[in-house]
Amino acid sequence: MHKPILYIFILLVTANIHAQQTKMSVEEISSFKLKVKTTAKNTKTILSNFTQYKHLEFLSNDIKTSGKMSFKAPNLVKWEYVNPFKYSVVFKEDQLLINDDGKKSDVKIGSSKMFKKLNQLIVNSVNGDMFDDSEFDTSYYKTSSFYVVLFTSKDKNLSKYIKQFILHFSKKELHVTEVKMIEPSDDYTQILFKNRQDNITLNDEVFTN
């Protein structure tokens, strides 16, 4: 490829990327945060299918898993993996309940401030209510279909585990459609939500594991 053509190609690609994702204005950010908080406050339960991709630098392909996520306000979350294996995790109060294809165990996280914080971040990332300026530096962007928010941790201890959260919100419903958690090594976990149902009845038995 001739250099002039290569330069034009690079410029076109770069322009296209910037056209797809642009920074939000101060007014847009304020309105967006208010709407998300209102939506989160009015969301009592969430049931959604999800697909998860785990990216590790030393693997040529991402590890793909899928299942169902259940949320019940204020802080109950269950991740139920069904493919390619059966595995479920429940975040419940100060416990982490694990069911590994019938082998059950629980981890007490109440004594660890860091695990409690990670738990709360996971809960908040599900319903989108993570706008705590004391915890994160935030950057706001928009595309034709989504709002995209980058959360970079200010906490040195937390940043040892998670360097950055990236949340995608649908423009129409202001639901979280994608969560990406980037580790200090730049390995990451990406979760895509699909077929979400809000405010349906979820009994407490769902979270017994």
Residue 91: C-alpha distances to residues 1, 79, 83, 163, 184 (Å): 54, 9, 20, 21, 24
Phi, psi for 200 (deg, rounded to 5)? -95, 165
| pTM for the model | 0.82
* CATH superfamily to which 23-207 belongs: Lipoprotein localisation LolA/LolB/LppX (2.50.20.10)
Predicted confidence at residue 51, as pLDDT, reads 97
Predicted confidence at residue 3, as pLDDT, reads 43
pLDDT (tens digit, 9 = 90+) per residue, 37-61? Answer: 899 889 999 999 999 999 999 999 9
Predicted confidence at residue 4, as pLDDT, reads 42
Please report, for the chain, the start and end positions of each structural domain, with discontinuous segments joined by +.
23-207
Residues of the chain under the 50 pLDDT cut: 1-19
24 within 8 A of 142, measured Cβ to Cβ: yes
